[in-house]
Structure 1
Amino acid sequence: MEVKEPQAPQLGQLVRNLRGRDEGKIAVIVGIQDERFVLIADGDKRKFDQPKKKNVLHLELLPRHSEEVADSLRETGRVTNGKLRYAITKYVESQPTAEAQEKGE
């Protein structure tokens, strides 16, 4: 049996919280502290200036990556809360609703 290596988190990658108060919420990685911890923000409840330190094991790394957020972080070291909200909204709108998934659409 082959064991898959966990994917390494990247700046600008969208994640879903699996544990804690914000369980089920989507956020964006705005900082990487080491191979175990990242900083996440959503631009709404959790602003860029006050990111949440989160264990990677408590996050689901989503296949979506926001180049706009990553480029802004690389160029200036900052990102606006509006860009974070936009990236999350764009991802959520691109996902089929739970009702559509149940119906097989």
Structure 2
Amino acid sequence: MSNQSSLQIGQIVKILKGKDAGQIAIIVSVEDSRFVYIADGDKRKFDQRKKKNLLHLEPQPFVSSEVVDSLNESGRVTNGKLRFAVLKFMKSTESKTEERGD
């Protein structure tokens, strides 16, 4: 489980368990070695962020610099920035899929 320890704020994750399974979200804070808080800016707003067990998340190799900068500057991030980061990630994965011809 070495990939679990590399999770950081602003990283995109895929939710594996729960009612939001299959959706994409962003880590907005780290609780401890087992739990993080996630939000996507759409169904799960920053003010209503969800506490998730790391075992229920699949980290993606993408970190949103806009989200990280905003959280470092003000301790908050707008829901618009969260939605933008998720959309940017989705478009980047779509283009990689098209390049492979899948």
Q: Is this a same-fold pair by TM over 0.5?
A: yes
Distance 1:73 1:58 in 2: 24
Residue 33 (structure 1) aligned to one of 26, 31, 34: 31
Distance 2:69 2:80 in 1: 15
Secondary structure in structure 1 of the residue aligned to 2:28: strand
Q: Which has the higher helix share?
A: 2
Number of corresponding residues = 99
Shift of 1:5: 1.9
The list of structure 1 runs, each at least 4 consecutive aligned residues, that deviate by more than 4 angstroms after superposition, is: none
Shift of 1:8: 2.2
The answer for the alignment partner of 2:67 in structure 1 is: 69
Distance 1:55 1:8 in 2: 14
Q: Which consecutive residues of structure 1, in runs of 5 or more, have no partner in the other structure?
A: none
Whichever residue aligns with residue 92 of structure 2, its letter is S
Shift of 1:100: 5.0
The answer for the alignment partner of 2:56 in structure 1 is: 58
The answer for the alignment partner of 2:20 in structure 1 is: 22
Residue 44 (structure 1) aligned to one of 42, 45, 48: 42
Verify: 1:89 aligned to 2:98, yes or no: no
Provide the aligned C-alpha RMSD in A.
1.7
Distance 1:80 1:57 in 2: 27
- TM-score, normalization by structure 1: 0.87
Larger radius of gyration between Structure 1 and Structure 2: 1
The answer for the alignment partner of 1:5 in structure 2 is: 2
Distance 2:6 2:75 in 1: 20
- TM-score, normalization by structure 2: 0.90
Shift of 1:96: 2.7
Distance 1:27 1:79 in 2: 14
Q: What is the aligned-residue identity percentage?
A: 56
